Structures are given as structure tokens and as C-alpha cells.
Amino acid sequence: MRAVHRFGTQRGPEEQKDTLGASSKWLRRRVRRAKLALSEFQESAKDRYLHFSATGRQRFRALQALRELPTSDLLDHLWDTWTQANRKFDDRFNAWFDRSVAAAAQSARSVRDGQAQELWQKSRLRLQLMRWKQSIGLSASSAQGNDPGKEAAPRKPARPVDTGALVLLGAGVGSAAQGFLGPALFLSSWATFRVARRFVVQCIDAEDANRLFRYAPASLQRRKAELFAQLHHELFVMRRIRAGDLRYIGRPGDKSWQAGMDPRNDHTPITLFDLTMQSVAAHPRVHEWVGQTVRAVAEPDKVVYRMHEGISEVYLGWHVRGELGDAEVQVKATGSVVDFIYIFPQGRDHYGLQPEGFVIRPNGDSWSQNTHDLPRFMKQPFGKHGGKLYLDRDGIFDFDYEALPK
């Protein structure tokens, strides 16, 4: 009777020959690789030996030439060499110092003008951190056996409970176990607030209103769209304040706050048109599509001027033209606050595609963003008629220009 293995039958002679042949091929391949690596190491060691020997002979000949010089000439030579090295060091240090002072002054001006976020985006420290993060991610993927050529799997959304919340919760539990109820309550409340804040911010960034209001009462469910848009705006303003943007820093009692709440400073169609044309004519991205000289083709053909809940609202839409092409401009103002200025270039780009619209800010800011990157609940002033619900519309006002008046 043939003996059997624990997990299978005994292999036949053909299978054993195949196994031995594969093992011998693997061994020969390993031996060839080892010989190749040894030959490369010998060649590199020989090249290094020749390099170091040539450098050593050159320095030895230089020392012999110095020994043959008289003492006075030798001292003069050493003094000249030291003087040249000192001057080169001074030149490099002075150039580095001038560059550092200029960069510090530019950074101070950027922070003063409220461009701290743009400064951080262009800083060398951020680039080094991004390279370090990419290297860490690449090493982690290599350690897990992933192929760098394959497309990475979609990242899972971050969880609200992070390391900081776990540390606070653990400290609270430890304090409660030791009998310190006051610190335990404080640390537990801090951890709960941190988790809730991270959950809300993640839902807003993902534009997932259903997840945020999943367990909300019916009264809040009915106002879900309004509340989510307000939370999105508050998060954006908070981030701009943390970035050092002085335009979003103010409190009741300041002159800027009182001026913004004064109805005498509300925009009218004329003032809003003038402010928008100044901003459009000075924006660099508009220059790329329209040209350096931007002029209005005609007066605004879309105008809405109304009072909504006691606050004046102005909606305007018109066309501008330059030496490169045309574009449609739309803008909205609520009281004295101007919303984004929407720019829709007309025509085709160099690929023959319809260029995408973008938004800019007033008062000569160089910032811009594509319209598809805006939140879903942020509508442009005017859109095309499509017979959709307001939630799915492109604009606040939809007109059907083909409908005949009754």
C-alpha cells in the first residue's frame, strides 16, 4: 500500500521530476544574479580605487610643489587662497541673506494683504511635506505588495473618531477611574465635541446633506437645504478667517460691520455693474479668454432688483467683449455683499470644446474657481429653462425664451 501524505496523496515520478527541474532552474537563476552582482561590485570598486588613487597623486604632487617654494612665497600663496575662499563665502552668504530678507518681506506683505493661504500653497515647506507624504504612501503601498503601476483603490472617507478623540476619551475614562469626576466630564465633553465637529465638517466637504440630517427631527428635515447651505458658508468663512483673510474678520461695533449693515450702502444695479466691470477688467483669468481690454457689449439684458425678507437683492447678466473673444457675466448682490462673479466664456478652446465657466471675487482678487467645483446649493443668478426642480436647476432664475407671451 502506498503511503499517503497528511494533506494529499504521494506525488508520482513525473511530478517529482518537474519539481526538481523547477528547483534547479531557480537555483541557476539565483547563481547567475549573484555572479552578476559580484562582477558589478568589483567594477565599481576598481573605478573608485582608480579615482581615489588619481586624486591622491594629484594632491601629493601639489604638496611637493608647495614644499619647494620659499617660505615667503608659501605664506603669500596660503594668504591668497584663504582670502579667495573667504570672499567666495561672503558672496554666497550675502546673496542668501538678500534673498531671505526679500522673501520675508514678501511673506509679510502677503500676510498683511490676506494672502496667507496662497503663500502656504507656494511655500517650500509645504512642497517638502507633500514629497515626504508621497514617499511614505509609496513605501506603504510597496510594503503591502501593491503594484505602483496599477491604479490606486479609492480612499475610504475618514472617520470622525480620530486619534485625538480617542486620547481625550481615554484620559476621561482614566480620570473617572481615579475619582476625578470634574476632569473626566470635561475631557469626555471635549472628545464628544471633537467627534461631532469632525463629522459635520466631513459631511459638508463631501456635500452629503442626507448623512448629516439622517437622524434630525422633521422640523430640521424640511429646512435641510437651507441649513446645509448656511453651514457650508459658515465653514468657508471660518477657514478664510483662520487663513488670515482680513475681509472676513469683523465683529458687531466695528466700522466695517456697521457699514455692511447700513441699508444706505446697499448695492443698486448701477453700483453693482460698475464694481463688477472693474473686477472683470482686472482679473488675469478673464484676460486669458477675453483679452486685456474688456468692454461691455451693451447694458445688462437680465436685471432683477427686488426686496426679499427686507433685504435688497440685485441680479445682473450681460455680455463683455475683448480682442480674444466674448464672455457672459452674471453677478448677484445681497445688500452690500457681492456674491461670486460668474464668467462664462463663449466660443471654443484650442481643443474645440466648450470652455467651462468659472467664478471670481470682486475688488481685484486673482482667485478663481470652476463652477462645477462650487457647492450644489450655490446657484448662478440666471440659467437655462429645463423644467427641473429648484434643487436641480443651474440658476436661481430660469427663463424660457421660446415661450410666447400670453
Stretch 219-237: mean pLDDT: 86
Q: Residue 7's pLDDT is what?
A: 39
Instruction: Report residue 177 as a C-alpha cell.
Output: 477611574
Beta-ladder partners of 370: 358
In whole angstroms, what is the distance from residue 124 CA to residue 147 CA? 30
Q: How large is the C-alpha radius of gyration of the chain? A: 35
CB 359 within 8 A of CB 276: no
Greatest distance between any 2 Cα atoms in the chain: 113
Predicted confidence (pLDDT) at residue 405 exceeds the cutoff of 60? no
Q: Where are the domains of the chain?
A: 71-121, 163-257, 265-399
Q: Which of these, 249, 293, 301, 282, lies nearest to 363 by C-alpha position?
A: 282
Predicted confidence (pLDDT) at residue 177 exceeds the cutoff of 80? yes
pLDDT digits (tens, 9 = 90+) for 185-223: 999 999 999 999 999 998 888 888 888 888 888 888 888
Q: Which of these, 289, 306, 275, lies nearest to 368 by C-alpha position?
A: 289
Half-sphere exposure of 18 (CA within 13 A, CB side): 5
pLDDT digits (tens, 9 = 90+) for 113-164: 656 666 666 666 777 777 777 766 544 444 444 444 444 445 556 678 888 8
In whole angstroms, what is the distance from residue 165 CA to residue 163 CA? 5
pLDDT digits (tens, 9 = 90+) for 75-102: 888 888 888 888 888 888 888 888 888 8
Instruction: Report residue 85 as a C-alpha cell.
Output: 575662499
pLDDT digits (tens, 9 = 90+) for 337-361: 887 899 998 877 666 677 888 888 8
Q: Which of these, 300, 313, 288, 280, lies nearest to 396 by C-alpha position?
A: 313
345 phi/psi in degrees, rounded to 5: -65, 140
What's at 193, amino acid-wise? F
Q: Which of these, 395, 279, 260, lies nearest to 334 by C-alpha position?
A: 260
CATH class of the domain comprising 265-399:
alpha beta
CB 340 within 8 A of CB 348: no
Mean per-residue pLDDT over the chain, rounded: 77
pLDDT digits (tens, 9 = 90+) for 247-260: 666 665 666 666 66
pLDDT band at 2 (very low <50, low <70, confident <90, very high): very low
